[in-house]
Amino acid sequence: MNDKKSREKAVPRSRLGRLSRVARMAGGVAAGMLGEGARQLSQGNKPKVSDLVLTPSNARRVAKQLSTMRGAAMKVGQLLSMETSDFLPPELAEILAQLRDRAFIMPRAQLEATLEQEYGEGWLDHFKNFDYNPLAAASIGQVHRATTLDGDEIVLKIQYPGVAESIDSDVDNIATLLRVTNLLPKHMDITDLLKDAKAQLHEEANYLQEAQHLEAFYEQLADSQHYVIPQYYPDFCTKTILAMEFVPGQPIEALDDIDPSDVDQLMRSLFELMFKELFELGLMQTDANFANYQYQRDSRKIVLLDFGATRSFTPEFTADYKRLLQAVTADDENAIIDAADRLGYKASSASQSYQDFLVELMRVALEPLAKPGIYDFKESKLSERLAELTDDVYGYKEFWQTPPTDILYLHRKVGGMFMLATRLGARVNAHSLLEPYLD
Catalytic residues: 287
How many alpha carbons lie under 13 Å from residue 254 in its C-beta half-sphere? 10
Contact 263, 269 (CB under 8 A): no
Mention every residue, 6+ apart, whose C-beta is less than 8 A from residue 260.
Answer: 425, 427
Terminus-to-terminus CA distance in the chain, angstroms?
Answer: 61
Q: Which long-range contacts (CB under 8 A, 24 or more apart) does 376-382 make?
A: 376/427, 377/418, 377/421, 377/422, 377/424, 377/425, 377/426, 377/427, 377/428, 378/422, 378/425, 378/426, 380/422, 382/418, 382/422
- How far does CA 2 lie from the centroid of its chain? 29
Mention every residue, 6+ apart, whose C-beta is less than 8 A from residue 153.
Answer: 145, 146, 147, 245, 246
Contact 105, 5 (CB under 8 A): no
SS3 state of residue 221: helix
Identify residue 120 by its one-letter amino acid code.
Answer: G
Stretch (H or E) spanning 48:
none
Q: Which long-range contacts (CB under 8 A, 24 or more apart) does 376-385 make?
A: 376/427, 377/418, 377/421, 377/422, 377/424, 377/425, 377/426, 377/427, 377/428, 378/422, 378/425, 378/426, 380/422, 382/418, 382/422, 383/418, 383/419, 383/422
Contact 340, 347 (CB under 8 A): yes
SS3 state of residue 139: coil
Q: How far apart, in whole angstroms, are the C-alpha atoms of residue 135 and residue 427?
A: 31
Read off the DSSP letter of residue 235: G
Nearest to 68 by CA among 17, 133, 10, 136: 10
